[in-house]
Chains A and B, each alone.
Chain A
Amino acid sequence: MSPPYVMKRTDIKKLVEAASNEYDVFGPVKKRSKHVFGKIDNPDNLVMDYDSTILSPRKYFQPQNEVMMSFDLEENKVEDTLDELRAMRPRLLMAVHSCDLNGILHLDRVFGGEYTDKYYFARREKTTIVGINCLDSCEYGFCRSMNTHHVVEGYDLFLTPISGDRYYVQVGTAKGEHLVHMARDIFQEAGPEDFGAFKAALKHKNESLPHEVDVEGINEYLDLSFHHEFWDKMAEDCVNCGACAMVCPTCYCYDVVDDLDLSLTSADRTRKWDACLFQEFALVAGGHNFRESPAARFKYRFYHKMRGFAHDQGILGCTGCGRCTAACPSDISIKDVLKELSGIWEVAPTAQGGK
């Protein structure tokens, strides 16, 4: 592993400029009063210090609408889009927060494994990621509670803001090292003083990031609460719009449709983001709906994030990024849901929590 570096924060522009020769660069940019990940054509538009973005970086690995193949019945032809995808220009994704780096690792688990999703990994492999450390908390996030405020992998470079308007730069992969070498003169190898500055930054982070929600034993709380009236009460405000799932870095559900053209013989097979909040999500042939009521769908989202995902993947399916709270038109806060849920069982001992 290559040693850590330091760089001046203002030199980020130089890095982006140098990288533009080889990559399409994306990163946080301003949108009205918020930020979104967008294409960086002018390095001045890149915002390194931002609260959160409306959508997570998921959109770069599993886009909202993705054509997987085209077919033509007349000519008996099928064309996969994978080759095109594999030939795309490499991408550089700048300033990804720890929670989102963990979110991407969540998606890697979902799309990897026995049935590897080649489309997802084609995009993933083409992308170099520069992460950034959050030393202070954001408006809605609760990363520390979900243990996603730090990262051990998932980045190519990882920047921590340190004193002297500099970044402490950790190199995670060969892709990261390659990026360093594209603008080698802006990086200096870190020395003992820089290690001190790095430690001071981490100390600040440790003191400033709150631990707000206790998710210990959450799987048991959920098992015990499946029929609790709490869910119906919480669901009263939910409009089942699915905004929470759209913005979530670890939601991955999609629907596959054939977009037929007017020849009626050729079509694009497209996958589109779907959400378990929608009425048709669990509707099957014959008209049966496994989650008929809006309240059942509201509840399900939490059971998938906090129970089903953990069962399948061994970790909770929430990074605590807070986007679902920010996006909810009814101001339903996932933090409040989790807090109230544990409140219900506070007095009851659980095998794992031992309280």
Chain B
Amino acid sequence: MGNNGKPTVGIFGFTGCAGCQLNILNLEDHLLDIISLVDITSWVMAKAENDDGPWDVAFVEGSIAKSTDIERLKKIREKSGVLVAIGACATHGGLPALRNLADTDEWKKEVYGDDYERIDAIDIKPVSHYVKVDYSLPGCPMDKAEFVEAVKALLIGKTPYIPQYSVCGECKAKENVCLLKEGKFCMGPVVQAGCDALCPTYGAACEGCRGPAPEANWAAEVEILKKIGATSEDVKRKFLKYCPSVADMEEFKELEF
């Protein structure tokens, strides 16, 4: 608790586009209500004065891409009661982690020239790889409504709720025409719902930014996509694009593409 009796909150960014933090700033209708309920004591993106904790709740955005990040993350964890990973980078590595798929020394040389060894770049991992994550708000960017829901849940002592099924369920409740049937490689069948099927609602295939649904039937999705013409390479790319940390899952390693 802060001096004013309100829970203290810290919002932190690691490697990512900062879009999730920006999404919090974009909560114009709710931001004032939120600040009346909590004391945001650290948020470098939005405030000039920031303290050094402790925090009742830390929201952590971004993936862990440098060795110095690991120490910083561990400090935040030590000083926080609850840690919430926000956005695909923090929950699954996100787009930055696509870099893991290339040879690190090679691209470093290419980009930074002879001096490349100075650059601190490790294999990119999600936050949960290094510290305990209490709750995850997936998505690229994190869903604003889900963030507000999580804030409310934490304030009243409930577990923030994330749907445990896949996007198709939401997509059908919205009565969208199924894009698979139009030959588009949609990830909806295996991706965690909660975005209200945002992309298919606007006619774009789900790219899987929210990561796999619990018990995702990957093998069925491989078949589904291949049946409409995807190659093994296409399927793999689709599975890993936003959530490269999926490659570390046993279920994924066992898959035949």
Which chain B residues (155-186) contact chain A, with CB distance < 8 Å? 155-156, 164-169, 171-178, 180, 182, 186
A54 vs chain B, min Cβ distance (A):
5
- The answer, among A36, A64, A241, A277, for a CB contact under 8 Å with B188, is A241
A38 vs chain B, min Cβ distance (A):
9
Question: With A and B bound together, what is the CA distance between A242 and B213 in angstroms?
Answer: 13
Q: Which residues of A contact B165 (CB under 8 A)?
A: 240-242, 275, 277-279
Q: Which residues of A contact B217 (CB under 8 A)?
A: 237-240, 294
- Contact, CB under 8 Å: A278 / B169: yes
Given A36-B175, A54-B177, A329-B178: A246 touches B169 (CB 8 Å cut-off):
yes
- Contact, CB under 8 Å: B169 / A243: yes
- Contact, CB under 8 Å: B152 / A264: yes
B146 vs chain A, min Cβ distance (A):
13
Question: With A and B bound together, what is the CA distance between A331 and B166 in angstroms?
Answer: 16
We find that the number of chain B residues with CB closer than 8 angstroms to chain A is 39
Does B98 reach chain A (CB closer than 8 Å)?
A: no
Chain A 273-305: CB-based contact to B (< 8 A → 1; otherwise 0)? 101011110000000000000100000000000
Interface stretch, picked from A26-34, A169-177, A203-211, is A26-34
Given A241-B189, A279-B215, A294-B215: A262 touches B34 (CB 8 Å cut-off):
yes
Q: How large is the interface on A (under 10, 10 to 19, 20 to 34, 35 or more residues)?
A: 20 to 34
Which chain B residues (196-217) contact chain A, with CB distance < 8 Å? 214-217
B4 vs chain A, min Cβ distance (A):
17
Does A10 reach chain B (CB closer than 8 Å)?
A: no
Which chain B residues (132-157) contact chain A, with CB distance < 8 Å? 148, 151-152, 155-156
Question: With A and B bound together, what is the CA distance between A241 and B224 in angstroms?
Answer: 13
Q: Which residues of A contact B167 (CB under 8 A)?
A: 241
Q: Which residues of B contact A330 (CB under 8 A)?
A: 189, 220, 223-224
- Contact, CB under 8 Å: A239 / B177: no
Chain B 210-244: CB-based contact to A (< 8 A → 1; otherwise 0)? 00001111011101100100000000000000000
Chain A 190-223: CB-based contact to B (< 8 A → 1; otherwise 0)? 0000000000000000000000000000000000
Chain A 220-250: CB-based contact to B (< 8 A → 1; otherwise 0)? 0000000000000000111111110011000
- The answer, among A55, A236, A239, for a CB contact under 8 Å with B172, is A55
Does B75 reach chain A (CB closer than 8 Å)?
A: no
Does A327 reach chain B (CB closer than 8 Å)?
A: yes
Question: With A and B bound together, what is the CA distance between A262 and B31 in angstroms?
Answer: 10
- Contact, CB under 8 Å: A34 / B224: no
Given A238-B220, A241-B165: A246 touches B172 (CB 8 Å cut-off):
yes
- Contact, CB under 8 Å: A243 / B168: yes
Chain A 241-265: CB-based contact to B (< 8 A → 1; otherwise 0)? 1110011000000000000101110
- Contact, CB under 8 Å: B180 / A329: yes
Question: With A and B bound together, what is the CA distance between A241 and B103 in angstroms?
Answer: 37
Question: With A and B bound together, what is the CA distance between A327 and B177 in angstroms?
Answer: 9
Question: With A and B bound together, what is the CA distance between A239 and B167 in angstroms?
Answer: 11
Which B residue sits closest to A293, measured CB to CB? Answer: B215
- Contact, CB under 8 Å: A240 / B166: yes
Chain A residues engaging chain B, CB cutoff 8 angstroms = 31-34, 36, 54-55, 59, 64, 236-243, 246-247, 260, 262-264, 273, 275, 277-280, 294, 327, 329-331
Q: Contacts A241-B166, A247-B172, A278-B164 known; list 11 others, CB within 8 Å.
A: A32-B177, A32-B182, A64-B173, A242-B169, A243-B172, A246-B169, A260-B156, A262-B151, A264-B152, A279-B215, A330-B223
> Which 6 A-B pairs have CB atoms at the shortest separation, nearest pair first?
A241-B168, A242-B169, A246-B172, A262-B33, A239-B189, A243-B172
